[in-house]
Chains A and B, each alone.
Chain A
Amino acid sequence: MKKKLSSRIIMNILIGFIILFWITPFSWILTTAFNPYASSALQLPRYITFEHFQKALQDDRIVLWVFNSLWVAVAVATLTSIIVIMAAFPFSRLEFRGKGAILWFIILVRIIPFTATILPIYLFSSKIGLLNLGGVVLYQSVFAIPFGVLLMKSFYDIIPFEFDESAALEGASILQIIFYIIAPLSRSGIIVIWFMTFLQSWNDFLFPFIFSRTEAQHTMAIGLYSAFKENNAIDYGLLAVLSIIYCIPSVTLYFFARNKMKTGFAGVGVKG
């Protein structure tokens, strides 16, 4: 389509503005991380330094935060995936009473904000000693499972029943059917769920903020928060480097899955 020159110019200015607006925080992080005179100002470094990276890597606390975040996220993603692989199966293969209600309920869990249910969960956990990373793993999984089941069900639904039937005729048990036939066939679904859950947990602030208060249990999110929030003289270089380290999983994953994310998006918003 040919467009008028004036509207093309306006549109290009608009696009330029949008791009600038969105990348400004990232450009600040990237320039500051290598800047020997790091400050809150956006400026090109006079020369490039890696001292902030060295400082970050030598800091035991930061290694601990990364380690905590990592094992929590891996545990949440793995636990969620295993439960989802099994739990989605009956929803795909059976008609039973209450199925519709449960699926309806899943969407409810997904859309009620966490802030609305966090208080009783907190009180409950403080009574039974779950105010630690174990509790974080548990609750993050609880809130990730419903959506995972919904997604996994849609992957199972496109696998024909004949596969189950022939396996059953050969004498396979239900778990064998799931783990040897159905799950391998929907491995792209499992991968999606694993990485999505991993990222959700890795990026999450609210649950670790409320449940893991001691310093030995800080995750990246909470470590960053406690190190830079109540501090007047902020070490901006370190902040930028930590931001980069903290962003690595999500940004890497995004560039790997960019095209798939776009094509798979049509249904997500509308179907919950």
Chain B
Amino acid sequence: MGYAIYKRRKKTLLFLTVPFLVSLFFFLIAVVWTIFISFTNQKLTGIEAINPKIIGLKNYLYILKNSTFIDSLTITANFTFLSAIIGQCFIGILLAAFVRQGFIKRPVFIEIPILLGWIVPDTVAAFSWLALVDDTGFVNQVLSWLNIESTGSLMEHHGFFIITVNNVWKGLAWSYLLFTAAIDGVSREILEASTMDGVSAGRQIYHIIIPSILPQIFINLLLITIWTVGVFSIPYIMSNGNPDTNILGVFMYNQAFASQRIGLASSISVIMTCIVGVFAALYFYFQKKYEE
């Protein structure tokens, strides 16, 4: 009976959603148009900018044979695995579990720093990190205290490592908060009883905590994987065009705006969307499954 009063004014009501639906539609068009451009030789300037020709699958054939692209895929995969799956998800579970197990008495002390990393603008995160890894920056200061000879510009030689660690620094808060909320459902009594019986902390995490928050772990893994595949800003600001920070987002941007090959860049976008799409499909599948 609930919405009976709106029945006869249904059309008026739906009218309210028009701007929203327009924006959804716009999004859909953007996706479809990306696919279309990826089949053309569209450029940013010149004749091909005004009159792009349809060249079929040529962009895809070219890009899949291009060794820089394959490298970029590998870098993105490593970046995602190390920074999202290990760095954010795994460490997030451990920290949340330590708090629940009583190892960390005052969680607020780690929460505030971790969350600050999460909320600062990308530009600030990138530039403050650039200062830290600068030739005279903090990292080199520490290295010289430890009497380790620095090997020139850190960003140039260890770029991949730096953007990976940076992404953990930036993103851990999300997983930590999510798992803290999930672990709240794990009974403290069970944990205490098992400690009495001599179960070690590691086994508690493996046998009690992880099984009881498995749905959240799955869903979080998929979400952060999707987001990490699409990362652009911080690696772009931090990198100086060194090849080992060339993740997919940066590679695509450079193809589109530096090399001006929009068609080619679109095919990279489509491939990116397909990769993300697989994870998104899994996400929806698990979401449905756990809701039932």
Chain A residues in contact with chain B, CB under 8 A? Answer: 1, 3, 7-8, 11, 15, 18-19, 21-26, 28-29, 32, 39-42, 83-84, 86-87, 89-91, 93-96, 102, 104-109, 111-124, 141-143, 145-146, 149, 161, 164-165, 168, 174, 178, 199, 202-203, 205-206, 209-210, 220-221, 224-225, 228-229, 236, 239, 243, 246-247, 250-251, 253-254, 258, 261-262, 265-266, 268-270, 272
Which of B55-63, B65-73, B156-164, B264-272 binds A?
Answer: B264-272
Please determine whether A119 and B262 come into contact, CB atoms closer than 8 angstroms.
yes
Give the docked Cα–Cα distance between A95 and B266 (Å): 38
Q: How many residues of B contact A (CB 8 A)?
A: 100
Interface presence of B131 (CB below 8 A): yes
- Taking the closest CB of chain A, its distance from the CB of B277, in whole angstroms, is 8
* A25: chain B residues within 8 A (beta carbon): 117, 125, 128-129, 131-132, 169
Q: Which of A40, A118, A203, A205 contacts B237 (CB 8 A)?
A: A205
Contact, CB under 8 Å: B237 / A229: yes
Q: Give B83 Cβ to nearest chain A Cβ, in Å.
A: 14
Q: Within 8 Å CB of B27, what residues of A?
A: 109, 117, 142-143
With contact pairs A246-B121, A265-B181 given, residues A116 and B13 touching in the complex (Cβ less than 8 Å): no
Evaluate whether A22 and B30 lie within 8 angstroms (CB atoms) in the complex, with A114-B230, A206-B232 already known.
no
- The answer to whether A145 touches B110, judged by C-beta atoms less than 8 angstroms apart, is no
Contact A113 B13 (CB under 8 A): no
B178 cross-chain contacts in A, Cβ below 8 A: 265, 268-270
For window 251-292 of chain B, which residues contact chain A by CB distance below 8 Å?
252-253, 256-257, 262, 265-266, 269-270, 272-273, 276, 280, 283-284, 287, 290
Bound CA–CA A266/B265 (angstroms): 38
Our pick among B119, B136, B201, B237 for the contact of A39 (Cβ within 8 Å) is B136
Contact of B75 with A by CB under 8 A: no
Q: Can you name the residue of chain A whose Cβ is closest to the Cβ of B120?
A: A247
User: B34 near A236 (CB under 8 angstroms)?
Assistant: no
A28-B131, A141-B23, A239-B131 known; A269 vs B34 contact (CB < 8 Å): no
Asked whether B233 is an interface residue with its Cβ less than 8 Å from the other chain, the reply is: yes
Inside 8 A of B276's CB, which chain A residues have their CB? 111-113, 116
Given the interface pairs A83-B20, A91-B17, the reply to whether A11 lies near B128 with Cβ below 8 Å is no
In residues 105-160 of chain B, which contact A (Cβ within 8 Å)? 109-110, 113-117, 119-125, 127-129, 131-132, 134-138, 141
**B47 interfacial contact with A, CB 8 Å:** no
> Given A94-B10, A205-B122, A269-B220, is A142 in contact with B23 using a C-beta cutoff of 8 Å?
yes
Q: Which residues of chain A are near B115, meaning CB under 8 Å?
A: 254, 258
Find out whether the CB atom of A145 lies under 8 angstroms from the CB atom of B136. Answer: no
Q: Is the CB of A3 within 8 A of B233?
A: no
**CB atoms of B174 and A269 under 8 A apart:** yes
User: A28-B128, A90-B14 known; 13 other A-B pairs, CB under 8 Å?
Assistant: A41-B136, A87-B19, A89-B13, A107-B284, A111-B283, A123-B262, A174-B12, A206-B232, A246-B123, A254-B119, A269-B220, A270-B290, A272-B287
Please determine whether B5 and A266 come into contact, CB atoms closer than 8 angstroms.
no
The reply on B205 being an interface residue by CB < 8 A is no
Q: Are B110 and A41 in contact (CB under 8 A)?
A: no
Contact B232 A243 (CB under 8 A): no
| Overall SS of chain B's interface | helix
Residues on B with beta carbons closer than 8 Å to the beta carbon of A266 = 181-182, 184
B35's nearest neighbour on chain A, judged by CB, is: A120
Pick the most buried of A84, A123, A246, A268: most chain B CB atoms within 10 A of its CB.
A123
| Interface residue B190 (Cβ < 8 Å from any Cβ of A) | no
With the chains together, A107 CA to B269 CA distance in Å? 19
Do B141 and A41 touch (CB < 8 A)? yes
Residues of chain B contacted by A29 (CB below 8 angstroms): 124, 128
Knowing A19-B109, A95-B3, A111-B223, the reply to whether A26 touches B127 (Cβ < 8 A) is: no
With A15-B104, A109-B27: A236-B109 Cβ-Cβ less than 8 Å: no
The reply to whether B232 and A1 form a contact with Cβ atoms under 8 Å apart is: no
B233 / chain A contacts, CB cutoff of 8 Å: 205-206, 209
- The answer on a CB contact under 8 Å between A165 and B119 is no
A-B contacts, 18 of them at CB < 8 A, read A22-B113, A25-B117, A25-B128, A29-B128, A42-B138, A84-B20, A90-B13, A91-B17, A112-B226, A115-B269, A116-B269, A117-B34, A178-B16, A209-B233, A225-B123, A250-B121, A270-B215, A270-B290
Knowing A41-B138, A119-B262, A120-B34 touch, does A94 contact B3 (C-beta < 8 A)? yes
